Amino acid sequence: MNAWAACGAALLAFGMVPVIWGVAAGSLARRLLAQNTGSTVVALTFLLLAQGYGRPSYVDLSLVVGLLGPVGTLVCVRLLADDLADGAPRGSSVVTGTCVIASVSVTVAVCAATAPGRSLVKLLLIGALVAVGNVVAARSLTVGVVAKGDAAR
């Protein structure tokens, strides 16, 4: 096991503990935020494991998870808008900020180890997609919940 694989395993192990806690307990909004965070952790883990094992196909898996995770959160927010009217999850900006910092850190580290070319551009796009997707999904969760709650009053 090299350092990349060890970092990927550590990110998965320590990153999924709060995700599992958030999904298992709390309000519906908190569970959706945890699901969104979990997809970010898995996408970043795939990027690290792709570098560690030398498997470019893992980068494609990261792309798929980076796309489908926030989209799934957006669909759930739309479908469960009435149930989410209780309020936005507390600490969502901290969770989102942590995910963005992790996305930037992992992307910069993996890009530093990659030779210039198409694969570097692909990694940069995936890193940006994961970071922006997390922000958009978390923002829609908090803003959508607040807007729905204000409309009900």
Per-residue model confidence as pLDDT tens digits over 3-27: 999 999 999 999 999 899 988 988 8
**Domain boundaries in the chain?**
3-152
pLDDT of residue 147: 53
pTM, 2 dp = 0.88
Q: DSSP 3-state helix, strand, coil percentages of the chain (rounded to 5)? A: 85, 0, 15
Q: Give the percent of the chain with pLDDT over 90.
A: 50
pLDDT in tens, 58-85: 899 999 999 999 999 889 888 888 877 7
Dihedral sign computed on CA atoms, order 14, 18, 23, 28: negative
Q: Alpha-carbon distance 46 to 108, whole Å?
A: 15
Residue position matching structure tokens 């994961």: 130
Q: Is the pLDDT of residue 104 over 80?
A: yes
